[in-house]
Amino acid sequence: MVTVGLLYPGHSAEDDYPALEARLDGAVRLPVVITSVGEDAHRVDALLDLGRAERLADGAAELAAERPDAVMWACTSGSFVFGPEGARNQASGVAAAVGAPASSTSIAFVDALNHLGLTKVAIAASYPEDVAGHFVRFLTAGGTEVVSMGSHGIITAAEVGTLAADQVISMVKAADHPDAEAILVPDTAMHTLAIVDELEAAVGKPVLTANQVTVWKGLQLAGPVPSLPGLGSLFGEQQ
Q: For the chain, what percent of residues have pLDDT higher than 70?
A: 98
Over residues 164-180, the pLDDT tens digits come to 899 999 999 999 999 99
The domains located in the chain, with CATH, are 2-105+211-235 (3.40.50.12500), 108-209 (3.40.50.12500)
User: What's the pLDDT at 158?
Assistant: 74
| pLDDT for residue 82 | 96
pLDDT at 55 over 60: yes
pLDDT at 115: 95
Segment 90-98 mean pLDDT: 96
Q: What average pLDDT does the segment 214-239 reach?
A: 89
78 pLDDT higher than 70: yes
Band of pLDDT at residue 152, cut at 50, 70 and 90: low
In the 3-class helix/strand/coil scheme, how is the chain assigned residue by residue?
Answer: CEEEEEEEECCCCCCHHHHHHHHCCCCEECCEEEECCCCCCCCHHHHHHHCCHHHHHHHHHHHHHHCCCEEEECCCHHHHCCHHHHHHHHHHHHHHHHCCCEEEHHHHHHHHHHHHCCCEEEEEECCCHHHHHHHHHHHHHCCCEEEEEEECCCCCHHHHCCCCHHHHHHHHHHHCCCCCCEEEECCCCCCCCCCHHHHHHHHCCCEEEHHHHHHHHHHHHHCCCCCCCCCCHHHCCCC
Look over the chain and give the mean of its residue pLDDT values, rounded to a whole number. Answer: 93
Q: What pLDDT is attached to residue 54?
A: 94
**pLDDT attached to residue 139:** 97
Instruction: Give the model's pLDDT for residue 126.
Output: 87
In this structure, of 69-83, 124-138, 181-195, 201-215, the range with the lowest mean pLDDT score is 124-138
pLDDT > 60? residue 239: no
Q: Would you say residue 9 has pLDDT above 90?
A: yes
pLDDT band at 41 (very low <50, low <70, confident <90, very high): confident
Average pLDDT over residues 75-86: 95
- What does the pLDDT read at residue 150? 78
